Amino acid sequence: MNKPRPADAALYPTPADIENARARHELRANALRLRLGGVAKVIGGALLLALTLRSLVFEPFTITSPSMQPGLLVGDYLFVAKWPYGYSRYSLPLALPLFEGRMPAGRMAKRGDVVVFKSPADNRTDFIKRVIGLPGDSVAVTHGQLVLNGVAVPRVAEPASATQHRYRETLAGRSYVVTHSAADTPLDDFGPVVVPPDHYFMLGDNRDNSADSRLALIDGGVGMVPARNLVGRADRVFFSVDRAKLRQSPVHWGTAIRTDRIGAQF
């Protein structure tokens, strides 16, 4: 008399059928493990490559403030080159304290470079400014005019508005546009100060709306920036979006991407 079986019971007439079923299951499991292992290796390799590129070659950076206008706009996405100044703990992910100083030693930023650095206030907040003074330089601002080592940095007025002046400034062969409020501001007069060893003096191109080396840390600026805090040099814009248009109705979204800025270099 046959024993009753549950409706969902598997049917294996002989012990050999059971062994065959087990063997087939093991083969399928092994094949799945091999496929998953291959996928894991590909994903792991891609993550390792991305981490290496981010640590040693390029790191993405987003402009979130107007301090570098008009050259850099809020919503610009940049590639920051890591290798020009060598590497420090602050140019590595998580600022791991693997070594002190910069490696290799001796690589310095140049006057006029646009750089990303960690604020000396907390050594973790990213800032982007233009390098103005190198170690040993004397830096001053007189009525909005930048003075480097006792010599006024050349500038030429450009078309502006009643409330804002624009100048094309030329520093160490680098030409760029800076903006000033038409009205006098406290930041229009500063110094002179001498940049200490292993430090840089930074300014924003939006001279009256930039927390830079003219302001001490206690006043919300960055003071003199240690060389070890440099992350890298701004290289080029790879994407740019007008976020104000994204906050409007969808009919404006098509023009939110600023295609004319993609590829812009510094």
Q: How far apart are the first and last CA of the chain?
A: 89
Q: Is 192 exposed, middle or buried (0-12, 13-18, 19+ CB in 10 A)?
A: middle
CA 54, distance to chain mean position in Å, is 10
Three-state secondary structure along 191-222?
A: EEEECCCCEEEEECCECCCCCCCCCCHHHCCC
Backbone angles phi, psi at 126, to 5 degrees: -80, 135
72 C-beta neighbours (distance < 10 Å), count = 25
Active site residue 129: yes
CA dihedral 140, 145, 150, 155 (to 10 degrees): 140
**Which has the higher per-residue pLDDT, 10 or 186?**
186
Mean pLDDT, range 26-55, rounded to an integer: 64
The pLDDT of residue 84 is 86
Q: Note the pLDDT of residue 15.
A: 74
Q: What is the pLDDT of residue 199?
A: 96
| pLDDT value, residue 175 | 94
Tell me the DSSP string of 39-68. HHHHHHHHHHHHHHHHHHTEEEEE--SSTT
* Residue 40 confidence (pLDDT) above 70: no
Closest residue by Cα to residue 181 from 161, 146, 155, 208: 208
pLDDT confidence of residue 49:
47
Q: How confident is the model at residue 230 (pLDDT cuts 50, 70, 90)?
A: very high
- Residue 181 near residue 167, CB atoms below 8 Å: no
From residue 161, give the alpha-carbon distance in Å to each of 170, 181, 261. 21, 10, 23
- Mean pLDDT, rounded, for 81-91: 83
Dist CA 236 CA 153 (whole Å)? 25
Distances (CA, A) of 214 to 101, 190, 199: 25, 7, 14
More confident residue, 56 or 239: 239
Of 65-74, 133-142, 199-208, 246-255, the range with the lowest mean pLDDT is: 246-255
Q: Which of 211, 229, 233, 197 is nearest to 122 (CA)?
A: 229
Q: Which of 88, 118, 129, 213 is the catalytic position?
A: 129
Average pLDDT over residues 167-190: 91
Q: What amino acid occupies position 100?
A: E
pLDDT for 180 beyond 80:
yes
- Of all residues in the chain, the percent with pLDDT exceeding 70 is 83
The two three-digit tokens of residue 185, written as one number: 């501001």
pLDDT at 181 over 80: yes
Q: What is the pLDDT of residues 44-78, one digit of tens each?
A: 655 554 555 555 557 889 999 999 999 999 999 99
Lowest model confidence (mean pLDDT) among 1-15, 83-97, 155-169, 236-250: 1-15
Known catalytic membership, residue 67: yes
Residues 102 and 106: their CA atoms lie apart, in Å, by 8
Write out pLDDT tens, residues 102-150: 766 677 899 999 999 999 998 889 999 999 999 999 999 999 999 999 9
Query: What pTM, to 2 d.p., does this model score?
Result: 0.76
